[in-house]
Structure 1
C-alpha cells in the first residue's frame, strides 16, 4: 500500500518562508551593523557606535571621568557655591551605560532597523550615594544658607543708620538631592543650578524702616532735649540719647517701636552730673542721749529722688518734637525720712536699750573695713516685728562696695580676703542685741576663739553662707547707732526697754582640746599663734522689777587654733644640696 502524503496549506508555507527570510535578514543585519553597539550611538557626545562592549566601556571611562570630576555650580537664594560630585557620591557608571546601549541595539527590530538608520544619544547611567550627597549638602548649607534679617534702625554718634531687610533662605536637603543628581546628569559647565530652599520673609520690611526713620529716628536725632527738675535745667545731646535708644520690632506686626534705656542714660556723665546735684538722700533725725534718755540732736531732711521711669517718661516724648517743645519737666519724688523730731517718741525711741564696745589692735585694713560697715549700719531703723540683717544692710564686702583686703578666718586658719575685720562689727552688734533683749534669728561664732571678744558672746558673718539677723520683738522701733575709731567700734540700740536689766553669765570651758603645729606654703598664709579649743555656755538672764524672769543659753564650740608657720613655697621645694 502506498504511503499517504499529507498536504501543507499554502498559508503555512508562506509564513514559514517569511520566518526563514526574516531570520536570514536579521543575521545579515547583524553582520552589516558590526559590533555590540548600534552605529551612530552616542553618550553625551561620545560616539560608541559599532564598538564592542569592552571598547565602548573603555572609551566612556576616559570621557566620563573628566565630566564626572567637574565642579557643579549651585546657588541657594542669592549665594553661590560649588559641589564636588565625587564627595557628594555622584558618579557615572560606564558599564551600565554600555549595557543599556547594547540592550537597545540587540533586539531584532533594532538590528533590522539599524540597516536603514543610525543610533541616537543615550543618557549615561548615574550612581548616587544618598548618604554622601546629604552630607555634602549639609556642609554646603552652612556656607550658603542665609538667615532672615529684619530691617532695622540704629543710632551711631547721633546719626541715624538703616539696616536693609533680607529674605532668609535655608537649603532643603531632602529635595536638593534629586536636583543635584539632575544637574550632574545634564552636565552643563556654564550653568548655575538653583537648589530648592525654604524662604523666610523678614517681619520688618523696607517700608517699615523708611516710616520709622521719617516719623521717629530723624526727629529724635535732630537736636538736644532739655530737662528741668525743681528749677534746675540741663540738656542731653543726640549722641548721648542715641547710645541708649533702640527701635525694636513688635513681635506680631513688625512695627518698629522706640525704647529708651533710662537706667543706662542716667549713668552718662551728661546726665549723671546734674542729677547728682539735684537728688538727695532722705536723712533721719540725728538722735543723741541726755543721760539714758533719747534727744533729737539734728533735724531730719527730706530726700529728692529721680527714678529711671520718671527720666524715661520725660525724655521719650520730647524726641519727636521741635524747637522749644523739646523741653520737659522730670517728675521728682520726695522721700520722707523715717525718723523725725515729731515722730521719734511715737516710734518708741525714748531711751538707751543697750550699748557695747569692742576694742581692737589698730591696722589700716581693719580701721577702714570697720568704718565702712559702721557707715552702712548707722541710722538703721528696725520697726516692731521686723527682722534686721547684717548682710542685707552692709552688702557684700567687695572693693566695689568700699571694702579692702584684710585678714579673716577661713577653714580654721587666718587668711587674706576682702572685708577682713568686719567680724568686729558683727560681734559688737550681737552684744548690743544680746543686752537689748531682742530675739536673735541667725548668728554664728568664729571657728576658733579670738581673745579680744567675750567667750561665747561673739559673731562672725560670711557673704552667702552666714548672716547675723535678729527680730525686733521689743514692741517698739529700734534705732541703731554705730560709730568707730582707729581702735574701737561701738553699737547702741535706742528704743524702749522691755526688761529692766539683762545680764550675761558665762560657764566654765569644757571639752578642752590642744592645738597642733602646722606649716603652710599658701601665698595668702598668715602666721597664727596657738590656742586651745573648747566648749562654753553663756546664759542671757532677764530681770524685771528686780526679779529674774527667764534664762536663755547660748552654747558655742571652738576648735583649737593651730600654730601656723608660713614658708616660701619656692624655698620649701628647693632640693637639699647635702643630699644626692
Structure 2
C-alpha cells in the first residue's frame, strides 16, 4: 500500500473563493444578448376578432336581403317602379293598363289657351301631343341588379321612371297655324259663298299668334296637364302679322274657282242616280281656307252628306284593293269639285267612278 495523505488538524478553515459579481450596466443600456427585463407580453387582440365576425355577419345579412329583393323583382316592371307618382310594377300589360287608366283621360283633355285675349282650345291628338304608354313601360321594364335599388325595394323605396310624351312638331305647328287664323286681331283674306254668288273678303294686318314662340309653351302645358291633372290657361305670345293671302291670290281664287262654282248648278252622278247642287246648297258646303299662301276650296263633309242624304244608297264602288264599299262623302266631294270648275253644261256634270279598282 502507498502512503496515506495527512489529515489536516482541526481549526479554522480558509474562506472559499467566489466569482466576483460583475457591475450592473448603466441605466438605459442593455448587455448584448440579454432580454429586456420587465416588458409585458402582448395580449391577444380580441377586439379585432369581434370586428371580423361582425363584418362577416353584415355581409351575410346583405346577401340574404339582396336575394330576397331579387325574388320580389321577378316581374317585367320591378316592384316600386313609379311614373308620375303612380306605381306601375307588374307585367308589361298591367303596367300599360295602369298608365292608361291613370293618365288616358288627362292626355285627351283639350288644352286651354289664350291668344291676344281670346280663349281657344287645342286638342292634344290634333296637335300631335301624346302619352306613349307602350314606350314608357318598355323603358321601365327589365331587372335592375343594382344592390342599392334591389334591397331598397324591401323597404318601400321607389324606382322612378320617366313618362314618354313625344311631340309631332309638324302636326303641332299646323294646329297652331290654324289657331293663328281664328284668334288674334289679324283678319285673313277669304271668299264667302252667299246665295247665288261668291264674295271676296280682303285681309287686314294685326296681332296674330307667334307660332315659333308657342311650340315649347304648348309642349310644357301638355306635360303639366298629364302630370298634374289640370293646367292653367296658357297665354301664347302674339306678334304683328300681315295676312298670308294677298290681293293677287284673292283675285286668282275668285276667277279660277269661286265665280265658276256659283255660276250655275253642278250635278253629281253615280250608278244611274244624280243630284244637282246649286245656289241654296253650295253655301252650306263650300268655304275657302289659306294653305301655304294660297286659297284652297274646302268641303264640309257633314253638310254634304246631309244634302245628298240617301240619293246614292245601294251604289257600290270598287276600290283599288278590290273591296266594294258604299259611296262616301269623299267620293261625292271629289266629283263635285270637278263639276264646280266646269264652264259648259256638259262640264258641270261629274260622274263618280264606281270601278276605281
Q: TM-score, normalised by structure 2?
A: 0.40
Structure with the bigger percentage of strand:
1
Higher relative contact order (CA 8 A, sep 6+): 2
Scaled by the length of structure 1, the TM-score of the pair is 0.26
**1 or 2, which has the higher helix percentage?**
2
